[in-house]
Amino acid sequence: MENKNFYPIQYIEPVTLADGTIIQLRPIHPADGQKALSFKDKLSTESLYNRFLGLAPKITTELVNRLTLLDYSQEMAIVAEIPKESKKEKEVIAVARLAKVQAYEAEFAIIIIDAWQGKGLGLIMTNHMISIAKDMGFQKISAWFFSDNSKMADIFIEKGFVIKQLEQGMDYAELLL
């Protein structure tokens, strides 16, 4: 049995966007917490609103630790990063997350810096997370999103999620693996 504390290097993957940009996908690491504020500063109010369903949290040390210190056997977060101008450091431009809801189900969420939206990264990361969810033994992925978030709806439809329209402008998507 794999130790839950080992960093899951098997999920590191370089990907190429349609415009030729090479992006590195990798599991989140505690050191990524240092990048949280600069990441948040590059997100619009709308992106934060959509990701956190209207309840964007204040960035605290406790929250950063909760989001970056993972038990990889129970949840997974993948960051997408690119080299900074200096080429010595990398910049996180997106985060996708699977959180265990039940033994067989994981809840999915994703957030992408506004400047990188509309380039196919959301679909690429969703594909990566579906593969990881299968590998982790989940049988279902679910997600809550606002009905007017057409970018997420398009990704979910393309990947075969069943979308249920709920009340108060919310939709629920689920994919049986």
pLDDT of 149-170, one tens digit each?
A: 899 999 999 999 999 998 888 8
Beta carbons of 152 and 143 less than 8 angstroms apart: yes
pLDDT of 35-69, one tens digit each?
A: 776 777 777 777 776 777 677 667 777 777 777 87
Encoding tokens for residue 69?
Answer: 């210190």
Mean pLDDT computed over 121-128: 96
Q: What residue ranges define each of the domains in the chain, with the CATH number in brackets? A: 9-176 (3.40.630.30)
**Residue 33 CA to its chain's centroid (Å):** 15
Predicted pLDDT at 91 = 86
Task: Please state whether the predicted TM-score (pTM) of the whole model is above 0.85.
Answer: yes
Beta carbons of 121 and 115 less than 8 angstroms apart: no
Strand 140-146: give its sheet, edge to edge.
13-16, 22-27, 75-83, 90-102, 105-112, 140-146, 170-176, 162-165
Nearest CA-CA partner of 96 in 86, 107, 110, 108? 110
User: What 3-state class would DSSP assign to 153?
Assistant: helix
